[in-house]
Amino acid sequence: MSSESEVPSYKRQQNATEILTAQHEVLTRLYEVSSVQNEILRDPMSGLDNCIVKHQIRVKIEDINMPFWAMVGLIVRVAIASIPALILLMALFIGFWIMLTILGLTPSSLAFL
């Protein structure tokens, strides 16, 4: 009594080959669309590089709208982050000082140079 044309396509049972073919078509279309989007996104990026090289933009910051305690927290974090850098600089200075001492160059002998 009911033919295949009367049954909506989403209710009709499909075999595995039809399902895979439909999925392949959808994925192929998605790939094509994403390729076009990637090309669109690449073009402005390359144009932006050329603009930056050709034109220098000067910026002057006049005000920073930042709450007081957020600024204090930022300063504390910067101070804590600088500790490893200071340790590294001290190690380099001590190593340089030891090398000068081994070579016989002391601060008093360098005063005559």
- Tally the domains of the chain: 2
Q: Are 75 and 29 members of one domain?
A: no
Q: Are 69 and 97 members of one domain?
A: yes
Q: Are 94 and 47 members of one domain?
A: no
Last residue within a domain, chosen from 42, 59, 76: 59
For residue 80, the model assigns a pLDDT of: 95
Burial 21-41 (b: 16+ CB within 10 A, else e): eeeeeeeeeeeeeeeeeeeee
Q: Which pair of structure tokens corresponds to residue 17?
A: 């080959």
- Encode the chain (113 residues) as per-residue pLDDT tens digits: 445 556 556 656 778 888 888 899 999 999 998 888 887 777 765 555 555 555 677 888 888 889 999 999 999 999 999 999 999 999 999 999 898 888 887 766 666 55
Q: Are 8 and 51 members of one domain?
A: yes
CA atoms within 13 A on the CB side of 34: 6
Model pTM score: 0.37
Q: Are 66 and 42 members of one domain?
A: no
Residues of the domain holding 27: 1-59
Q: Are 67 and 113 members of one domain?
A: yes
